[in-house]
Structure 1
Amino acid sequence: MTNEHTNKTALITGGSAGLGRALVAALSEQGWHVVTDGRDAERLSTLDSLPASDRITAIPGDVTDADHRDALAAAVDAHGGLDLLVHNASTLGPVSGERRYRLLADTTPEDLQHVWRHNVGAPLVLTGLMLPRLVARRGVLLSISSDAAVEHYGGWGLYSASKAGLDHITLTFAAENDAITAYAVDPGDMRTQMHQDWFPGEDISDRPLPETVVPHLLALLASRPPSGRYRAADFPALRAVPRVVERAGA
């Protein structure tokens, strides 16, 4: 995982900010070629400032769009295959007044369709599209989950259910395909824009930056345990990673 030239390719959705961006930065610095995307083209373009930007292919677009998924597949094929698929992009759900959440009793079919399409449907069909490529490389499927997938927080029901669904399809892909390994990983609370959006006006400076989670994810990938649901904190950070992550976050 720490070789200068790995000749490996990763596809990471939602790589323009937060944990996705931090992981794009770290893997590209370790010699991976990384294909990534984001709905905000301007924010995605800032990946050009990363130290290993020559190994990053950034494609603006929405992963729920079939043409965009085809463009991601073409970019992966241009680099000869796929070793790692990371489902990081997601949506919080509907806004209710000034709050980022809505009670289940107030949830509409349109709310359900929107959240399920982004958090479950898109990862499902993208994995299906990329599966032959992962199988050929005996690759890894990694979905960024949440403690909300197994806990019950009032007002978080729709998001939580979608993360539980994402966990299930991720691990079922592994059950159906012995050639791949799949992980649903809870990264823990992080100081990201998405987290801030969920708690508008609140001080979330006590949450760790997403760059601090990346070394644990890299340790998971390096140790490659059996397919399953894990917490990122369960894997001690690789000692060689902090320098790379610090540069990536500069």
Structure 2
Amino acid sequence: MPVAIVTGASKGFGLALARELSARGWQLVVDARGAEALKAAEFGPSVTVIPGDVTDPGHRLELVNSVSQLDLLVNNASALGPSPLPALADYPLEAFSDLYEANVVAPLALMQLALPLLTKVDGTIVNVSSDAAVEAYEGWGGYGSSKAALDRLSAVLAVEQPSLRVYAFDPGDMRTEMHQAAFPGEDISDRPEPSTVVPSLLRLLDERPPSGRYTK
């Protein structure tokens, strides 16, 4: 039975992915900051729920220590930053720092902890990215630049760990709470549900193309 850690799995893309992996017979460890939402989510069998914040070193250690085998790490948990999205000229620097802690530092720290297990099985890392990492959208300087940094970490790690598959996966716009927070008061019902994007990531896991940046 393959084993995966999926962060940010209480809702949105993380929840949809965790449910599908569980249905495929994976053993999962999932987390999220919202303990009640995480515990209330219906994942299926063989899922260990560990509420917590990925910016907490102790929580990251708990996630990795909960498994003796690891085939897949999905760094899905992330923060948007202030809403409405501020221009860079007005971006609160403390919030900017917090954003990088959640979207760049925490994923790197979790990858560092997981590498000894992943390298044993030539495993896979998926870092969930965004089109804001490669396109310049007004107001998206904080979030977009943090995802661009995560993309670069993914690319360099792939070079340094050639036995692994390291993917920066851009799921595109989705109908999620985070996306709604980026567009307060707007109707985002035209965006696809996260569950419709999951098959694109599953194809990566099944086909294992070379490490790189992939979109849905």
Of residues 103, 112, 132 in structure 2, which corresponds to 1:148?
132
Does residue 60 of structure 1 match 2:44?
Answer: no
Q: 2:5 and 2:153 mapped to 1: Cα distance?
A: 18
Moved more, 198-207 or 15-24: 198-207
Q: TM-score when scaled to structure 2?
A: 0.97
2:50 aligned counterpart, secondary structure: strand
Of residues 81, 99, 112 in structure 2, which corresponds to 1:93?
81
The one-letter code of the counterpart of 2:81 is G
Of residues 42, 46, 64 in structure 1, which corresponds to 2:40?
46
Shift of 1:108: 3.0
Map 1:105-184 → 2, pairs under 5 A:
105-184=89-168
The one-letter code of the counterpart of 1:130 is A
**Structure 1: runs of 5 or more not aligned:** 1-6, 233-250
- Report what 2:10 is aligned to: 16
Map 1:234-249 → 2, pairs under 5 A:
none
- Report what 2:186 is aligned to: 202
What percent of counterpart residues are identical?
52
**Structure 2: runs of 5 or more not aligned:** none
- The number of residues matched between the two structures is 216
The one-letter code of the counterpart of 1:15 is A
Moved more, 122-131 or 194-203: 194-203
- Report what 2:25 is aligned to: 31
Q: 1:197 and 1:72 mapped to 2: Cα distance?
A: 28
Shift of 1:205: 0.8
Q: TM-score when scaled to structure 1?
A: 0.84
Does residue 74 of structure 1 match 2:65?
Answer: yes
Q: Deviations over 1:60-81 (max 9, x none)?
A: 000010110111012122xxx1
1:179 aligned counterpart, secondary structure: coil
Q: 1:173 and 1:46 mapped to 2: Cα distance?
A: 35
Q: 1:90 and 1:27 mapped to 2: Cα distance?
A: 20
Root-mean-square deviation over aligned CA pairs: 0.9
1:230 aligned counterpart, secondary structure: strand
The one-letter code of the counterpart of 2:6 is I
